[in-house]
Amino acid sequence: MKFFFYCSKTFPKRKTLLALGILILLGFQGCTSTYFYDRGQDFLDCWQFQFRVGRAEPNLIFYPVGVPSPGIKPYPFFIPFYGNIRLTKFFQMGTGSFHSKTYGMLGRGMGTWEESRAEWGLSILYYSKIKRKFLSGNDNLSRMLNEGAAKDEVGQTAEKLGDVDVFQPNDRSLFNIGAGFHLVTVGFDFGFEPLEFFDFFFGIFGIDFKKDDIATLRSEASDLLQGEEKEGMQEDFGTEARR
């Protein structure tokens, strides 16, 4: 009986304190609608899912890149498939290539795009070559896929390094967990981003270490404008002083 009496007295208090804490947190966050929107976007960033329709290239397991040399006809044991399984890029294996139209989401980016992908390797000794072209979808997806379209010398070097999967700048992150498969004409890929989950979790308490919340972006934009205004005022004072 004492135990039940203790629970009835303690847990309601804890729930009340938790509710008060959340209300205080929302007060610090300012606009509650923005807060919940950012949490939703952070949660979406944790996930990747794609459904693909297109051609997988003939492949023999661990045949380099999965594509026979020009002029060599694929034999019956060259199965048209691509496969990858990963627990971060340090523990992954895969082989194959394909060209497809892809439907799905890359975090908060959702829509359709063309994709050509070739992968082969084990652990960090892993080769990958990825090309994507935005077709339709939201602005987030458009920015993701069109980012870095015009590359300077540094960008071109990064793209070459990107053939080594650990340095791949425009694909899965270093700690991505998931799997993908493509057989003949149909494929899928599912991924989870642990770092994005931590951003979502800490974002509940007002910590935005990925700097992608609306409140953070507004604050940075405001600071930038204030800095520009101060510079403009200093230039005006300098001009008047010279006169």
Tokens of 229: 């205004």
Express each pLDDT in 121-166 by its tens digit: 999 899 888 889 999 999 999 998 887 454 545 455 555 555 677 7
**Pair (125, 238) in one structural domain:** no
Token pair 């934009």: residue: 221
| Nearest one of 77, 42, 73, 79 to 57, comparing CA atoms | 79
**Pair (222, 144) in one structural domain:** no
**Pair (190, 227) in one structural domain:** no
Domain membership flag for residue 2? no
Supply the pLDDT for residue 62: 43
Domain membership flag for residue 130? yes
Supply the pLDDT for residue 67: 45
Range(s) of the domain holding residue 142 = 43-196
| Nearest one of 97, 31, 30 to 63, comparing CA atoms | 97
Arithmetic mean of pLDDT, 204-231: 70
Express each pLDDT in 51-105 by its tens digit: 999 998 877 554 444 444 444 444 455 778 899 999 999 999 998 889 999 999 9
Domain membership flag for residue 207? no
Residue 84: strand pairing partners: 94, 180
How are beta strands 177-183 and 125-137 bridged, if at all?
A: unpaired
**Pair (145, 225) in one structural domain:** no
Supply the pLDDT for residue 186: 95
Average pLDDT, the chain: 76
Any idea which of 4-8, 115-119, 159-163, 178-182 has the lowest mean pLDDT? 4-8
Coil, strand or helix at 172 = coil
Domain membership flag for residue 67? yes
Domain membership flag for residue 113? yes
**Pair (114, 220) in one structural domain:** no
Q: What's the pLDDT band for 107 if we cut at 50, 70, 90?
A: very high
**Pair (143, 235) in one structural domain:** no
Supply the pLDDT for residue 165: 75
User: Total domain count for the chain?
Assistant: 2
| Residue 145 backbone class (left: φ over 0; alpha: ψ -120 to 50; beta: rest) | alpha
Supply the pLDDT for residue 20: 53
Supply the pLDDT for residue 79: 78
**Pair (75, 165) in one structural domain:** yes
Supply the pLDDT for residue 53: 96
Domain membership flag for residue 106? yes
CA–CA distances in Å: residue 27 to residues 21, 59, 197, 209: 10, 57, 23, 20
Domain membership flag for residue 75? yes
**How many angstroms from the chain centroid is the CA of residue 149?**
18
**Pair (140, 228) in one structural domain:** no
Residue 108 has pLDDT above 70, yes or no: yes
**Pair (167, 229) in one structural domain:** no
Supply the pLDDT for residue 92: 95
**Pair (184, 218) in one structural domain:** no
**Pair (157, 79) in one structural domain:** yes
How are beta strands 186-192 and 47-56 bridged, if at all?
A: antiparallel
pTM above 0.85, yes or no: no
**Pair (51, 127) in one structural domain:** yes
Express each pLDDT in 156-211 by its tens digit: 555 555 567 777 766 888 999 999 999 989 999 999 999 999 999 998 888 888 88
Domain membership flag for residue 73? yes
Answer with the residue of higher pLDDT: 115 or 57: 115
